[in-house]
Amino acid sequence: MSDSRGDRRWPVILCFVAALMLAIAPMPDWAVPFRPDWVTLTLIYWVMILPHTYSVGSAWLIGLILDVAQGTLLGQHALALSLVAYVTVKFHLQLRVFPVSQMTATVFALLALYQFILFWINGVAGINAAAVTYWGPVISGAIIWPVLAMFYGSVRYRVRG
């Protein structure tokens, strides 16, 4: 008999691995500021759907992996993803029943919170960046959210036991 709980986690883990790969994949210079925050979008979805399985601790771990993969300050993405995961867990029951337009606006706000935390940490560390590097991922992530949520919704049926 196989461990069905472990089997249900593999599709979610593969979604996070794919998001991490998309976060570090090379892109043309003009498109880099508009790269969606794949990891943040993936985290928002799975924390909203499975808050007892994926929460602040898994966000912290994924954030540390993202910090190492991107070569940023260690703990920068971990802190930002943990705060986004906390807000998502806190309001996951309300978020699940939102229509697509309201969910997209909420995801826009969560992505803006994520980028504000990164902006604040970079400011404290003395790292300057153009405004488009903070607002580009927020706008592109909000645009791509409905399609990504539909895709993850199809993956979600594999997670159910």
Backbone dihedral angles phi then psi of residue 35, each to the nearest 5 degrees: -65, 125
What are the mean pLDDT values of the chain's consecutive 10-residue runs (161 residues total)?
Answer: 66 95 96 96 96 95 97 95 98 94 97 97 93 95 97 82 52
Q: How far apart are CA 40 and CA 48, in angstroms?
A: 12
Chain centroid to CA 4: how far? Answer: 26
At 86 the pLDDT is 98
What is this structure's pTM? 0.93
Beta-carbon count within 10 A of 97 CB:
8
